[in-house]
């Protein structure tokens, strides 16, 4: 028999050589493990000895060529060996080799190389999330050594790849976001892109209630990919990029979009691994559509506005790379860079950096007795708008693309002041709605809108708005006093503070004194001058100082915001030093101390120490333990 035939026989025989190990849990080739808050991930191993006799198993772990672990375990028949090895996030390639030794001979049972630890992003939506236009440009130009993708083979086994494989399915948006993150954070990145071109939210949100991971649905297949890839770990960012299908599908599809988006988001939060940030991309102006297409963008702009884990990013303003439907490679790269900046400032920074997200309109208010309209955006957002942009064909002005009661060319002038844009309008009489940018756009000069947009100081475009209600301005509410009592914030309006404000409510926001952002506390009905403005739980009463903002509002009017501070202190215990005088309880209010009438000559200093020297009418001396109170 020739050597060639011997070699061929050997090749056929090697796979038939059996070993006694059943490998139950082992990393996969090129797998990415999502890092935890300590910058590590645990790689889990589980092996069973299926031999009838004892076997010695060993596991060798290597990081960038250096051995980091070498473990051995003798297993009797049917015994298990289960353990975990921590790996660190960073540009580190890990390899693991499992050996079985019998009769002084060691055989390689299983290996996994190029294993990494880093971050995971998910993209879901339609064609602009898929972003395949220009992706072939990366075939020879983009280094994907530290980028990972995960796809099913034959719809069963999840296989890990470098980012450009298989078939560039990660798309330009995913690949460029991954590259920016690898370069900026020096960690490997996996992006799992489940987008489907041309699909509406009904098809993308279809979910098998009995088996949400049903791979016959778009949602179930993405869920299976993500949960199989992330058996342990979280998602840094889930990016939703969809809505174009509804803008040309008729009024009912647009009106239904908000409810379907709420349902989809609820399912995602319940089914997927924990998500640090859910980012909704507000779609651009399409070149074809119907007059109410702004309704979809409105739903997107106002989606989950009170949820700190949800943000919305505007896509308008990418005119040089936008054809009215899709983007070029440079356009998708620009969107990916915006996403990376968002994550860099809101996820990777020790604390979120204000301003690195799209400004959102908070209110549109007429100034009293003037033809001036104030567009007021988020706090900590310095916004600006230009009158025109110069293009090769001439100037594109903003005036035709802002509509008062559906009519454009109404702006005489405007001024950018902090988080406001103040518009001088020809005639504000009867004005009750304002729209920023039309529902769709195209003309002979440009297939997509290429005019001015409202931006913040770091270049994020503002979210567009459609038929936003304009309100009359009320006077700022005035008050006599605000004080803390029995874990409640009591607020006494000044006489006449709510005149001419039928059915008004007080909208309440608050923040800790050291915080940046206010949180909404709800609306309070006004049924008397003295009202309960807020309620504290037990833990919150230990805070030093709270900042409040309140405003009066009804369906037609809104006031400017009133700002005030309140010091909150927990209950004060008073106990007698010498005799069984009993416990007297009091409260610390704003600027005053309310104690039992039997105590006189109160000498009180606001501090966290024990306060002595309270003399009672009976001549008894008591001590006061001031708990959870702090100096002003």
Q: What is the pLDDT of residues 323-358, one digit of tens each?
A: 999 999 999 999 999 999 999 999 999 988 989 999
Lowest average pLDDT, out of 262-276, 288-302, 558-572, goes to 558-572
Q: Give the H or E element holding residue 223.
A: helix 218-229
Long-range CB contacts for residues 174-177, cutoff 8 Å, separation at least 24:
174/121, 174/123, 174/131, 174/336, 175/135, 175/138, 175/142, 175/144, 175/147, 176/332, 176/333, 176/336, 176/337, 177/121, 177/336, 177/339, 177/340
The long-range contacts involving 217-226, CB below 8 angstroms and separated by at least 24 positions, are 218/194, 219/267, 221/152, 221/194, 222/122, 222/124, 222/192, 222/194, 223/271, 223/272, 224/152, 225/150, 225/151, 225/152, 225/158, 225/192, 225/194, 226/120, 226/122, 226/192, 226/272, 226/273
How many angstroms separate the CA atoms of 370 and 413, rounded? Answer: 14
Question: Which residues, at least 6 apart from 444, have a Cβ–Cβ distance to it below 8 Å?
Answer: none
- pLDDT at residue 508, as a whole number: 86
Q: Helix 294-301 to helix 251-271 angle, to the nearest 10 degrees?
A: 30
| CB distance 441 to 324 below 8 Å | yes
Q: Are 51 and 3 in contact (CB under 8 A)?
A: no
Domain 479-567 CATH assignment equals 3.40.50.2000: no
560: pLDDT confidence band, cut at 50, 70 and 90?
A: confident
pLDDT at 375 over 80: yes
Q: What distance in Å separates the CA atoms of residue 316 and residue 566, rounded to the nearest whole number?
A: 41
pLDDT-based confidence at 564, cuts 50/70/90?
low
Q: Are 201 and 247 in contact (CB under 8 A)?
A: no
Q: If residue 50 lies in a helix (H) or strand (E), which one and from where to where?
A: none
pTM, to two decimals: 0.84
Residue 571 has pLDDT above 60, yes or no: no
What is the rounded average pLDDT of the residues 437-458?
94
* Each residue's pLDDT tens digit, 26-72: 999 999 999 999 999 999 999 999 988 889 999 999 999 999 999 99
* Least confidently predicted of 113-117, 507-511, 541-545: 541-545
Residue 512, number of CB atoms within 10 A of its CB:
14
What is the pLDDT at residue 491? Answer: 77
pLDDT of amino acid 475: 74
Q: Is 421 exposed, middle or buried (0-12, 13-18, 19+ CB in 10 A)?
A: buried
Q: Which of 293-297, 416-420, 615-619 has the lowest mean pLDDT?
A: 615-619
Q: What is the pLDDT of residues 200-254, one digit of tens each?
A: 999 999 999 999 999 999 999 999 999 999 877 899 999 999 999 998 888 899 9
Mean of per-residue pLDDT scores for the chain: 83
State the CB neighbour count (10 A cutoff) for residue 591: 10
Cβ–Cβ under 8 Å, residues 566 and 482? yes
Residue 490's pLDDT is 78
Determine the average pLDDT of the residues in 255-264. 95
| pLDDT band at residue 561 under the 50/70/90 scheme | confident
Residue 483 in this model has a pLDDT that exceeds 80: no
Q: How far apart are CA 399 and CA 409, in angstroms?
A: 5
Burial of 609 (C-beta count, 10 Å sphere; 0-12/13-18/19+): exposed
* Residues 556, 560, 561: CA angle, nearest 5 degrees: 120
Which of these CATH numbers, 3.40.50.1110, 3.40.220.10, 3.90.1150.10, 3.40.190.10, describes 119-348? 3.40.50.1110
Is pLDDT of 175 > 90? yes
Q: End-to-end distance of the chain based on CA atoms, in angstroms?
A: 96
Q: Which of 213-217, 510-514, 605-609 has the lowest mean pLDDT?
A: 605-609
pLDDT band at 597 (very low <50, low <70, confident <90, very high): very low
List, in order, residues 6 or more apart from 616 with CB less than 8 Å away.
Answer: 581, 598, 599, 600, 622
Strand-pair category, 584-589 with 592-594: antiparallel
Q: Return the minimum-mean-pLDDT range out of 135-144, 495-504, 567-576, 578-587.
A: 578-587
Q: Which of 173, 229, 225 is nearest to 194 (CA)?
A: 225
Return the H-helix or E-strand segment holding 31.
Answer: none
Q: Whole-angstrom Cα distance, residue 300 to residue 294? A: 10
- Comparing 161-165, 215-219, 429-433, 474-478, the range with the smallest average pLDDT is 474-478
Residue 608: partners with Cβ closer than 8 Å, 6 or more residues away: 626, 629, 630, 631
Asked if the model's pLDDT at residue 504 lies above 90, the reply is no
Are 259 and 202 in contact by the 8 Å Cβ rule? The answer is no
Nearest to 356 by CA among 344, 366, 348: 344
Distance between CA atoms of residues 326 and 129, nearest Å = 10
Q: In the prediction, which pLDDT does 500 show?
A: 62
Domains of the chain, by residue range, sit at 17-115, 119-348, 361-473, 479-567, 572-626
pLDDT value of position 128? 96
Q: Decide if pLDDT at 612 tops 50.
A: no
**Integer angstrom CA distances of residue 464 from 25, 184, 355, 380, 437:** 49, 30, 17, 19, 7
CATH number of 17-115: 2.60.40
43 vs 27: CA distance, rounded Å:
7
Q: What is the pLDDT of residues 243-256, one digit of tens each?
A: 999 988 888 999 99
Whether omega for the bond prior to residue 166 falls within 30 degrees of 0, making it cis, is yes
pLDDT on residue 10: 31
Do the domains at 17-115 and 479-567 have one common CATH topology? yes
Neighbouring C-alpha atoms within 13 Å toward the C-beta of 340: 21
């Amino acid at each position: 028999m020739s050597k060639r035939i011997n070699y061929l026989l050997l090749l056929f025989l090697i796979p038939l050589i059996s070993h006694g190990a059943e490998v139950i849990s082992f990393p996969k080739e090129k797998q990415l493990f999502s890092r935890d808050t300590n910058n590590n991930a645990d790689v889990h191993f589980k092996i069973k000895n299926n031999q009838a006799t004892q076997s010695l198993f060993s596991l060798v772990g290597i990081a960038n060529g250096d051995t980091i672990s070498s473990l051995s375990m003798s297993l009797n028949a049917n015994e298990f060996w289960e353990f975990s090895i921590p790996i660190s996030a960073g540009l580190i390639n890990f390899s693991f080799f499992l050996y079985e030794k019998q009769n002084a001979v060691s055989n390689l049972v299983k290996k996994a190389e190029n294993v990494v630890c880093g971050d995971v992003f998910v993209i879901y939506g339609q064609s602009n999330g898929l972003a395949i236009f220009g992706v072939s440009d990366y075939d020879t130009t983009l280094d994907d050594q530290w980028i990972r993708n995960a796809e099913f083979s034959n719809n069963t086994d999840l296989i890990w790849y470098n980012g450009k494989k298989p078939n560039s399915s990660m798309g330009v948006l995913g690949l460029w976001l991954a590259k920016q993150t690898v370069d900026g954070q020096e960690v490997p990145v996996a992006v799992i892109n489940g987008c489907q071109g041309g699909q509406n939210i009904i098809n993308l949100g279809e979910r098998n209630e009995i088996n949400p991971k049903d791979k016959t649905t778009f949602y179930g297949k993405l869920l299976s990919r993500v949960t199989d890839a992330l058996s342990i770990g979280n998602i840094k960012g889930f990016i939703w990029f969809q809505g174009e299908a509804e803008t040309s599908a008729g009024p009912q599809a647009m009106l239904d979009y908000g409810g379907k988006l709420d349902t989809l988001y609820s399912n995602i939060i319940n089914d997927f691994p924990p998500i640090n940030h859910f980012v909704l991309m507000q779609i651009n102006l399409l070149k074809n559509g119907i007059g109410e297409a702004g309704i979809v963008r409105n739903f997107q702009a106002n989606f989950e506005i009170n949820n700190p884990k949800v943000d919305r990013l505007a896509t308008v303003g990418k005119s040089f790379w936008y054809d009215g439907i899709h983007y070029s490679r440079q356009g998708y790269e620009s969107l990916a860079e915006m996403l990376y900046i968002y994550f860099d400032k809101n996820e990777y920074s020790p604390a979120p950096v204000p301003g690195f997200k799209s400004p959102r309109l908070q209110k549109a208010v007429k100034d009293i007795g003037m033809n001036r309209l104030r567009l007021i955006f988020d706090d900590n957002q310095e916004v600006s708008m230009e009158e025109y942009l110069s293009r090769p064909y001439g100037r594109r002005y903003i005036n035709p693309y802002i509509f008062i009661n559906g009519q454009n060319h109404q702006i005489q002038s405007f001024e950018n002041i902090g988080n406001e844009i103040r518009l001088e309008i020809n005639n504000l009489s009867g004005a009750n709605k304002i729209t920023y940018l039309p529902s769709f756009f195209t003309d002979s000069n440009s297939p997509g809108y290429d005019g001015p947009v409202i931006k913040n100081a770091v270049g994020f475009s503002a979210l567009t708005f459609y038929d936003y209600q304009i309100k009359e301005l009320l006077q700022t509410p005035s008050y006599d006093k605000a004080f803390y009592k029995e874990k409640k914030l009591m607020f006494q309006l000044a006489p006449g503070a709510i005149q001419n404000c039928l059915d008004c409510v007080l909208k309440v926001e608050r923040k800790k004194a050291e915080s940046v952002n206010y949180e909404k506390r709800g609306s309070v009905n006004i049924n008397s001058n003295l009202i309960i403005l807020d309620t504290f739980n037990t833990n919150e009463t230990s805070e030093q100082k709270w900042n409040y903002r309140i405003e009066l509002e009804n369906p037609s009017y809104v006031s400017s915001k009133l700002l005030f501070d309140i010091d909150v202190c927990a209950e004060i215990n008073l106990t007698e030093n010498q005799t069984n005088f009993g416990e007297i309880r009091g409260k610390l209010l704003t600027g005053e101390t309310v104690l039992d009438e039997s105590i006189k000559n109160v000498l009180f200093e606001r501090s966290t120490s024990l306060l002595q020297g309270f003399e009672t009418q009976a001549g008894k001396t008591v001590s006061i333990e001031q708990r959870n109170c702090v100096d002003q």
